[in-house]
Amino acid sequence: MISSRWQHVLALTAALLAVAGPAGPATAAPAASSTRVYASANGSGAACSAGRPCSLATARARVRALVVRQRHDIVVVLAGGAYRLAGAFELGPQDSGANGHTVTWQAQAGRTVTFSAGQRVTGFSPFDAQHDVWRASLPASAPQARQLYVDGVRAVRARTPQNWPGDNSIWTPTAEGLATVAADTSYLSWPYQPGIEVVADSQWKHLRCPVVGIGGITVY
């Protein structure tokens, strides 16, 4: 016969076991579902779905609207390709996750995404057949372009040698600009002098000095 006090103890133990359940390995809580927004380089409309992707700007607007009452992680899936931009594509605090959730922008699995504000240069015509030189006018919106890619490969701009033979410090500051003691005077005849830049590395700085014009060179 079990006393009344032990009956209460056994009943309490049984109740605790019923609440806790049998001992076993801990299991992780199921991952929260995510909301997916789809965009492509040629996307349009406002569906932002896998079958009807929208543009980058529309995808960003959709995310901002979802973040206000965000309940799941948001994933923006970008279809592969080159996204041509007229300016910087900016993401700020308003595009970040809220309520403990995240916002992720990622390329579609197995695809490559490129953002580019580069402009196409067309209308090339022969200029110097002997040296296979062609020329074309730059777009009015990119008069000072410093990079040219041909078939995806960066081309080398026209330039003088990296270092003048035997002298790495040939430029001397003056009241009028920079003076040089270089023996090469060929660039006096260059027709587009305002397009010239003097490029120099000084300490940790990479300097680019635009040339307004060339007034003369003193040769020593």
Q: Examine the domain organization and report whether 72 and 87 are in the same domain.
A: yes
Q: Examine the domain organization and report whether 101 and 123 are in the same domain.
A: no
Around 54, how many Cα atoms within 13 Å sit in the side-chain half-sphere?
16
3-class DSSP state of 12: helix
pLDDT of residue 141: 76
pLDDT of residue 34: 87
What is the pLDDT confidence band of residue 220, given thresholds at 50, 70 and 90?
very low
pLDDT at 111 over 80: yes
Average pLDDT of every residue of the chain: 77
Residue 212 belongs to some domain of the structure: yes
Q: pLDDT, tens digit, for every residue of 82-94? A: 999 988 899 999 9
pLDDT of residue 184: 63
Q: Examine the domain organization and report whether 183 and 203 are in the same domain.
A: yes
**Number of domains into which the chain is organized:** 3
Neighbours of 39 (CB within 10 A): 23
Q: Examine the domain organization and report whether 138 and 72 are in the same domain.
A: no
Dihedral angle sign, alpha carbons of residues 197, 193, 172, 170: positive
Residue 27 belongs to some domain of the structure: no
Residue 88 belongs to some domain of the structure: yes
Let me know: does 217 contact 187? Beta carbons within 8 Å. no
Q: Examine the domain organization and report whether 138 and 209 are in the same domain.
A: no
- Length of the chain (residues): 220
* 86-120 burial code (b ≥16 CB/10 A, e <16): eeeeeeeeeeeebeebebebeebeeeebeeeeeee
pLDDT of residue 143: 66
Q: Examine the domain organization and report whether 170 and 149 are in the same domain.
A: no
What values do phi and psi take at 60, rounded to 5? -65, -40
pLDDT of residue 99: 92
**pTM listed for this prediction:** 0.57
User: Which region among 68-72, 127-131, 170-174 has the lowest average model confidence (pLDDT)?
Assistant: 170-174
Structural domain of 65: 34-116
How many Å apart are CA 62 and CA 78, to the nearest integer?
A: 14
Residue 192 belongs to some domain of the structure: yes
How many Å apart are CA 170 and CA 45, to the nearest integer?
A: 59
Q: Examine the domain organization and report whether 104 and 40 are in the same domain.
A: yes
Q: pLDDT, tens digit, for every residue of 137-193? A: 888 877 677 788 888 899 888 777 666 544 545 667 777 776 765 656 677 777 777
Higher pLDDT, 165 or 196: 196
Q: Examine the domain organization and report whether 95 and 128 are in the same domain.
A: no
Domain finish residue from 157, 180, 206: 157
pLDDT at 100 over 70: yes
Q: pLDDT, tens digit, for every residue of 8-58? A: 333 323 332 233 334 434 333 334 588 999 999 999 999 999 999 999 999
How many Å apart are CA 198 and CA 196, to the nearest integer?
A: 7
